[in-house]
Amino acid sequence: MSQFDLQSKIPNNVNLAADRRLQRALEQWQPRYLEWWNEMGPEGFQAKDVYLRTAIGVSGDDWAQFDYVKMPDYRWGIFLADQVPDRRVPFGDHLGNPVWQEVPGEYRNVLRRIIVTQGDTEPASVEQQRRLGQTAPSLYDLRNLFQVNVEEGRHLWAMVYLLHSHFGAEGRDEAEELLARRSGDSDKPRILDAFNQTCDDWLSFFCFTMFADRDGKFQLASLAQSAFDPLSRTCRFMLTEEAHHMFVGDTGLERILRRSAQLTRLDPNGDARAQGGIDLQTVQKFINYWFSYCLDLFGSEVSSNAADFFGAGLKGRFDEERRFDEHTALNQIKTLVMPKNGQLVNEDIDLRNAMNEVLREDYIEDCRNAIRRWSKVVQNEGVDFVVTLPSGRFHRHQGIYGGVQFNPAGELITADEFEAQRTTWLPTEADRAYLRSIMRPVTEHGKIANWIAPPKKGINNNEFEFEYVKL
């Protein structure tokens, strides 16, 4: 079991006090992180007491404690899951060898790139969500937003720790850059496209935590398999926190859909907007938009990088150890559906080259489970509407389907046909303006905006009426 130092400037379980150089370097990064947080973190609520959970351990039921905290005082710490004794490389060309505690020289650049790319998404999402507090539908939701935000901040700490402790001067430079890029900035954008999209209404926020944080789950789970043990341990603990982010998105969308169905029933013309709510079709459009953008995060369907990552033991499949019997992925194929000369044809790809697609398919299946539940919720309210997940080919910007047009069913169509349907499949400026018009903050205890249903229960066994944020 690792030792926890919760009292020092930077709470940690990595025995930071024993490495004075590293400790000093991170303590110098800390005020710059706080500057970034104050500038780019949640706008308007930095001085408020928020009922937040803070990590104080890495396992068991008592890994976190709940209390009122002002966000800038949050104890962002460096926590790694406990070391697994005699852990072996679980896949790839080094299968069965002892895992690495130091970065092998030959993988230094590529590992740094992987860590920076993952790390960049963490502050990016905080930036994307920074104005949402001003339109929160309830104190419960406001608190959940801030919980997600502070934990994304901690995830940045987790990646910066790896950069500082294992990548020398280059790692320290990268840590600075992580605070310098800005979501949506044309000069210094965040690395991945989905993290440069605006997220200024709560339907987008719930789609983001449902689909983008779930991408995070799959990326972290595949990196948790890594032969570089410090990365594996870091990701394993991040997954513990990530579960709540996906819960916020999944239940948030479910609550919107329930309320939308209720308002649809209530209105004589079946028009939820006439009742001040969100119509089901608009919710579907936002699902289409965010789901498709998040599919791009998995990278190209055919990728020699993905093959190299797998071969080197850097990035495995989802739940590699438990779900697969064969861990080299050599001499195996995966059949992909390829657009070729205006048609879709099957093509066999070396399995290692298809690893991005393998991970994406597991992700899609995970999303599908939620979609089925949501449809039941809508139908239980007496409305005949089926929520659907568009085809993985729809509205893609990268990979083999990027630059080719498909309908939500995944059938090839022309660019003109796509444009003719765009406003029925994807959110329009008018949809976004409508959402902004109905999203007014609701800050009384136990009250909730008209466009969303209350949650079934509160946080940490508290009631929905609990004072989650002291305003």
State the DSSP string of 18-82: G-HHHHHHHHHHHHHHHHHHHHHSSTT-TTSEEEEEEE--SSSTTSEEEEEEEGGG----B--PP
Contacting range for Fe ion; rule: CB under 5 A; set: 102-110, 144-152, 168-176, 401-409: 144-152
* Cα torsion angle, 413, 418, 421, 427, sign: positive
d(CA 220, CA 246): 13
Total residues in contact with Fe ion, by rule CB under 5 A: 6
Q: How far is the CB of 362 from Fe ion (least distance, A)?
A: 18
d(CA 365, CA 374): 15
Q: How far is the CB of 118 from Fe ion (least distance, A)?
A: 8
DSSP letter for 208, please. Answer: I
Find the helix or strand (DSSP H, E) in which 113 lies.
helix 108-128
Residues 236-275 that bind Fe ion (CB under 5 A): 242, 245
Q: How many CB atoms lie within 10 A of CB 140?
A: 25
Nearer of residues 76 and 394 to Fe ion, judged by Cβ: 76
Please identify which residue in the block is written with the tokens 């990088």.
Answer: 305
Nearer of residues 136 and 145 to Fe ion, judged by Cβ: 145
Work out the burial of residue 319: count CB atoms within 10 Å of its CB; fewer than 13 is exposed, 13-18 middle, 19 or more buried.
middle
Residues 98-137 that bind Fe ion (CB under 5 A): 122
Q: How far is the CB of 163 from Fe ion (least distance, A)?
A: 16
Q: How far is the CB of 234 from Fe ion (least distance, A)?
A: 11
Nearer of residues 246 and 442 to Fe ion, judged by Cβ: 246
Q: How many CB atoms lie within 10 A of CB 38?
A: 11
Nearer of residues 245 and 285 to Fe ion, judged by Cβ: 245
* Residue in 210, 166, 136 with CA at minimum distance from that of residue 19: 166
Nearer of residues 23 and 149 to Fe ion, judged by Cβ: 149
Q: How far is the CB of 212 from Fe ion (least distance, A)?
A: 8
Residue 155 in contact with Fe ion, rule: CB under 5 A? yes
d(CA 264, CA 385): 11
d(CA 372, CA 393): 20
- CB crowding 300-314: b at 16 or more within 10 Å, else e: bbbbebbbbbbbbbb
Binding test (CB under 5 A) with Fe ion, winner from 120, 127, 201, 213:
213
Residue 182 in contact with Fe ion, rule: CB under 5 A? no
Contacting range for Fe ion; rule: CB under 5 A; set: 80-88, 149-157, 361-369, 447-455: 149-157
Q: How far is the CB of 148 from Fe ion (least distance, A)?
A: 6
Contacting range for Fe ion; rule: CB under 5 A; set: 153-161, 183-191, 196-204, 356-364: 153-161
Nearer of residues 212 and 272 to Fe ion, judged by Cβ: 212
Nearer of residues 208 and 385 to Fe ion, judged by Cβ: 208
DSSP letter for 89, please. Answer: -
d(CA 245, CA 250): 9
Residue 215 in contact with Fe ion, rule: CB under 5 A? no
Encoded amino acid at 286, one letter:
F
Q: How far is the CB of 298 from Fe ion (least distance, A)?
A: 16
Nearer of residues 297 and 329 to Fe ion, judged by Cβ: 297
* Cβ atoms of residues 196 and 189 within 8 Å: yes
Nearer of residues 294 and 426 to Fe ion, judged by Cβ: 294
Q: How far is the CB of 374 from Fe ion (least distance, A)?
A: 20
* Cβ atoms of residues 154 and 76 within 8 Å: yes
Applying CB under 5 A, the residues found at the interface with Fe ion are 122, 152, 155, 213, 242, 245
